[in-house]
Chain A
Amino acid sequence: MTPSRTAFAAILAKDLRAELRTLQSLPAMALFAVSSYVIFRFGLNHSHLSGALASGVLWVTLLFAAVLGINRLFVAEREEGGFDAIRLAPIDRSVLFTAKVAALIIYLALLELIAVPIFALFFLNSAASLPPLIIVLVLADIGLAATGTLISSMAVNSRARDLLVPLVLLPLVIPLMIAATAATEPLMLLGGVSYHRFGTWLMVLGLYDLIFALLGYAVFDFLLED
Chain B
Amino acid sequence: MSPDQEPAIRLVGLRRVYGDRAALAGIDLEVARGESLVVLGPNGAGKTTLLRILATLLRPTGGEVELLGCKLPGEAWKLRGKIGYLGHEPLLYRDLSGRENLRFHAKLHGIKGERAEARIEELLEAVKMSHRGDERTYEYSAGMRQRLAICRCVLHEPELLLLDEPDSNLDIPGREIAKTLIGRGGGHTRVVVTHDPDRHLPEADKVLTLGIDEGTVSA
User: With A14-B93, A18-B96, A89-B81 given, is the CB distance from A84 to B110 under 8 Å?
Assistant: no
Query: How far does the alpha carbon of A97 sit from the alpha carbon of B205 in the complex, in Å?
Result: 42
Find B80's partner among A81, A82, A89 (CB 8 Å cutoff). A89
Find B89's partner among A21, A80, A226 (CB 8 Å cutoff). A80
- Are B56 and A85 in contact (CB-based, < 8 A)? no
Q: Which residues on the A side are within 8 Å of B96 (C-beta)?
A: 14, 17-18
User: With A6-B112, A21-B95 given, is the CB distance from A14 to B104 under 8 Å?
Assistant: yes
State the interface size on chain B (CB cutoff 8 A): 28
User: With A7-B107, A91-B108, A226-B58 given, is the CB distance from A18 to B93 under 8 Å?
Assistant: yes
- Are A76 and B108 in contact (CB-based, < 8 A)? no
Q: Which residues on the B side are within 8 Å of A82 (C-beta)?
A: 91, 93
Which residue of chain B is the closest to A22 with respect to CB atoms? Answer: B95
- Are B110 and A2 in contact (CB-based, < 8 A)? yes
**Residue A160 lies at the interface, judged by CB distance under 8 Å to chain B:** no
Q: Which residues on the B side are within 8 Å of A76 (C-beta)?
A: 93, 95
Contact flags A112-126 to B (C-beta < 8 A → 1, else 0):
000000000000000
Q: Which residues on the B side are within 8 Å of A225 (C-beta)?
A: 59
**Residue B83 lies at the interface, judged by CB distance under 8 Å to chain A:** yes
**Cβ < 8 Å to A, chain B residues 47-100:** 52, 55-59, 80-81, 83, 85, 87, 89-96, 100
- Are A90 and B107 in contact (CB-based, < 8 A)? no
Query: How far does the alpha carbon of A9 sit from the alpha carbon of B56 in the complex, in Å?
Result: 25
- Are A6 and B58 in contact (CB-based, < 8 A)? no
- Are B93 and A2 in contact (CB-based, < 8 A)? no
- Are B89 and A3 in contact (CB-based, < 8 A)? no
- Are A80 and B93 in contact (CB-based, < 8 A)? yes
Query: How far does the alpha carbon of A127 sit from the alpha carbon of B87 in the complex, in Å?
Result: 55
Q: Which residues on the A side are within 8 Å of B52 (C-beta)?
A: 226
- Are B104 and A10 in contact (CB-based, < 8 A)? yes
Can you pick out 17 interface pairs between chain A and chain B where the beta carbons lie within 8 Å of each other? A1-B110, A2-B108, A6-B107, A6-B110, A17-B100, A22-B95, A80-B91, A81-B90, A81-B91, A84-B55, A88-B80, A89-B80, A90-B108, A90-B109, A91-B108, A226-B52, A226-B58
